[in-house]
Structure formats: structure tokens, C-alpha cells
Structure 1
Amino acid sequence: MTDTHVPETLAEFRDEFLELPEGDRLELLLEFANELPPVPDHLADHPEMYERVAECQSPVFINIEVTDGVVAMHATAPPEAPTTRGFASILAQGITGLSPDEVLAIPNDYPQSIGLTRAVSPLRIGGMTGMLMRAKNQVIQKR
């Protein structure tokens, strides 16, 4: 994979994971789980504005907003699903602030690039890929 289309923040996150020994990467993912940005007030009481990520075993919901050419990703994931929450946090923090074109250019295999394919199940990596694909689809619909 080339870095040409990986936005800076997502590239930094990836590098953070890859710099750690494999055994410590899950710990970093759990740190991300604790940093999932809160849902903004105007969306908090409107679950109908979120899309369920069916690829995730846990109930994960995302919402993409595009305002003045800037994307914001919001996600909810239960505290009892820290791996999934961590993936949602990486994407929400990494996508928010990008332009629609930058989001659409994120490589589809980004979830496989962060060095967790042996630490978590393929199903969980598939869940993160599902989040990314749904985020891209919402960007296409809303730009």
C-alpha cells in the first residue's frame, strides 16, 4: 500500500501501531476505544440519523456530515465492545476534518494496514472495513 492517499492523521495512527511490538498493539487499540469522540448534541437524540454497520457484531452506528466541504464522522459503539469502539474511534478521529475527496481516496485496505490482523479476528477487521465503506458511501450521498 502506498501512502499517497492515506490522510495524515490516519497515517500517523497506522505508524503508531506499527512501531509497537505486536503484543502491545491491542493495548493501543483499547486506548483509542477510550477516546471515541462523543456524539454532538444535535445528533444525540436522533438515532434515525445513524446507519447501523451490519458488518460489526456489536451495535455500531455511524453518521457522516459534510459541511462547507469538510467531513465529520460520528460513531457510537458500546463500551463492552472495546475493539470495535477502538476501530470506530480511529476512523472518526482520522476522517473528521478531511474533504470528501480525501475520504474517498482512503485505501479500502486501510484496516488491514495497521498491524492488527493477527491480534484481532478477521471478523473484527471486516467490521472496521465495513465502517470505512459505509462512511465513504455516506460521503458520496452527502457531498
Structure 2
Amino acid sequence: MTAEEHLALLPPKLQNVVKMLGSAPKVLKTEMLLEFAKKMPPLPEGMKGQLEQVHECTTPFWVHVELEGGQTHLYFDAPKEAPTVRAFAGMLSEGLEGESPETVLKVPEDFYTLARLEEVVTPLRLRGLQAVLGRIKRQVREAMGA
């Protein structure tokens, strides 16, 4: 699959995130990830008990998905001192929030390769990001079946 075909599988907002990061020089990429970390939405009151921990992440990280009116809503929690996983949450939130469940399910597990994140993020952390997307997709499938 070509990079263009891979990119075409992403919803437009996630395409923008990936293109922006992918075209950025390595020296700016870390700063951009820190900006995404700041964009991780705050967890609404009473949501904490509903989140599922993503054990593959080296830092404690939790995710929860809800479907409402044909839209996917994402909720994340991670320590304030964990900028990498918070950046992943910010990226996924910006790229997938409000999308249809079907659109979310089409996102390739390795979408981050288009952003060339391996230039600044370790393989272990990237596996964590892949696991987060896997949890999101599983929760979307479960919610669709409910």
C-alpha cells in the first residue's frame, strides 16, 4: 500500500495531524508533540471509573469510548508528567473525536508511520500508541454491538 493509499484511509482531521507531523523537521516534531499533549481534553467528572487501562503503555494510561448520535467520543486519562502519552491522546482526540464508528474502525493500526514519529519516539512508546488505537477500536465495536 502506498503512503497516499494509507493516508486516504484516515479521516480528514487525522490526515491533517499526520501530514503536519510527517512534514515537520525532526527538531520541531518534539515541540509539536508537546503541543498535542496540551490538547488532551480534560476528563469529565465521574468518568474515571469507566476508563480502561492500556497496559501496553509504559506510563499509566486510560481510555474510554462512547457512541452517541453516530459519533465517537473519546476520553483519556494520563499523568500530567507524561507528555508522550498525553500527546498521543491529543492527536487521537483531534483526529477522531466526533467521527463515525465506521470511520474510526478503518484507521490502520500503524497510521503513525505516516507522521514519521519514529524519529522522536521509541518503538516501545509507538507500540503503546498502537495499543491505544486497538482499545479504541475494540470499544467502538463493543458499543456498536450493544
**Alignment TM-score, normalising by the size of structure 2:** 0.91
Equivalent residue, structure 1, for 2:8: 4
SS in 2 for 1:75: strand
Equivalent residue, structure 1, for 2:110: 109
Q: Which stretch has the larger CA shift, 73-82 or 132-141?
A: 73-82
| 4+ residue segments displaced more than 2 Å | none
Equivalent residue, structure 1, for 2:64: 63
Identity, in percent, stands at: 34
The 2-side partners of 1:132 and 1:24 are apart by: 24
Q: Cα RMSD between the aligned structures?
A: 1.1
Instruction: After TM superposition, give the deviation of residue 12 of structure 1 in Å.
Output: 0.3
The 2-side partners of 1:87 and 1:75 are apart by: 10
Q: Could you tell me which runs of 5 or more consecutive residues in structure 1 were left unpaired when the two chains were aligned.
A: none
Q: Could you tell me which runs of 5 or more consecutive residues in structure 2 were left unpaired when the two chains were aligned.
A: none
Letter in 2 for 1:37: P
**Alignment TM-score, normalising by the size of structure 1:** 0.93
Instruction: After TM superposition, give the deviation of residue 48 of structure 1 in Å.
Output: 2.6
Equivalent residue, structure 2, for 1:13: 17
SS in 1 for 2:49: helix
Q: 1:26 aligns with which of 24, 30, 36?
A: 30
After superposition, where does 1:1-143 map in structure 2 within 5 Å?
Answer: 1=3, 2=5, 3-43=7-47, 47-143=48-144
Q: Is the 8 A contact 1:61 1:77 kept in 2?
A: yes
